[in-house]
Amino acid sequence: MKVKMKVQAIALDPVSNSPVMLLKEEEGERTLPIWIGLLEATAIATRLENIQFSRPMTHDLLINILDHLGIKIPRIEVCDLRDNTYYALITLDIDGREVKIDARPSDAVAIALRTGADIWVHEAVLEKSKLLEEEAKSEASSETTGQDQDKEKLKELLEKLDPSAISKYKM
């Protein structure tokens, strides 16, 4: 099953300082964050903000070539998530024949925004992303717990330490 989505925003991850593309379900509340490169974020943001350049950027050039050849792009799909990497497909309509092209989700979305193509995300990708997010939260929680335990052990050790033993060492 696939879920129709739209670009909600391009944001900056405060931890990694990397751009994040946020896709939001059109008829629901789920979102899908995908960390992307700076150039792709710029290509998406300029289209979202309707910024025009005097010369075609790379995604615009590709669209111009496809238009010249009579090739349409009805949809793109974020179709997989493997090893923390998202995968996408761009569907080309070549005289009624569909051809799917492998792409990075950021490039596929940048092209979809320029062509009006639908943006779809496979349900399995949303589920895998949610699991990854839960794992990350769990790891962060256990790291905090481990740090708290280490602090407690250090505190106990310092409380038991004989102050006269410290004076033997010069600083």
Task: Spell out the per-residue pLDDT of the chain, length 171, in tens.
Answer: 999 999 999 999 988 899 999 999 999 999 999 999 999 999 999 999 999 899 999 999 999 999 999 999 999 999 999 999 999 999 999 999 999 999 999 999 999 999 999 999 999 999 999 888 777 666 666 655 666 676 776 666 666 665 555 555 444
- The single-letter code of the amino acid at 116 is G
Q: Is residue 171 part of a domain?
A: no
Nearest-angstrom CA–CA distance, 86 and 116? 22
Q: Are residues 107 and 139 in the same domain?
A: no
Q: Are residues 77 and 108 in the same domain?
A: yes
Nearest-angstrom CA–CA distance, 37 and 79? 19
> What pLDDT shows up at residue 132?
80
CATH code (residue 81): 3.10.690.10
Structural domain containing residue 136:
132-166
> What pLDDT shows up at residue 87?
98
Q: Is residue 41 part of a domain?
A: yes
Nearest-angstrom CA–CA distance, 134 and 132? 5
pTM of the model: 0.78
> What pLDDT shows up at residue 11?
93
Q: Is residue 156 part of a domain?
A: yes
Q: How many domains does the chain have?
A: 2
> What pLDDT shows up at residue 131?
87
**Residue found under tokens 């903000």:** 49
> What pLDDT shows up at residue 146?
61
Q: Are residues 14 and 96 in the same domain?
A: yes
Q: Is residue 27 part of a domain?
A: yes
Q: Are residues 119 and 139 in the same domain?
A: no
Inter-residue contact 35 to 16 (CB < 8 Å): yes
Q: Are residues 95 and 121 in the same domain?
A: yes
Q: Are residues 49 and 86 in the same domain?
A: yes
> What pLDDT shows up at residue 171?
42
Q: Are residues 15 and 68 in the same domain?
A: yes
Q: Are residues 121 and 145 in the same domain?
A: no
Cβ-based neighbours of 110, under 8 Å, separated by 6 or more:
40, 43, 44, 47, 59
Q: Are residues 150 and 112 in the same domain?
A: no
Q: Is residue 138 part of a domain?
A: yes
Q: Is residue 93 part of a domain?
A: yes
Q: Is residue 96 part of a domain?
A: yes
Q: What is the CA radius of gyration of the chain?
A: 24
Q: Are residues 157 and 121 in the same domain?
A: no
Expressed in angstroms, the distance from the first to the final Cα of the chain is: 66
Q: Are residues 44 and 120 in the same domain?
A: yes
Q: Are residues 45 and 60 in the same domain?
A: yes
> What pLDDT shows up at residue 169?
47
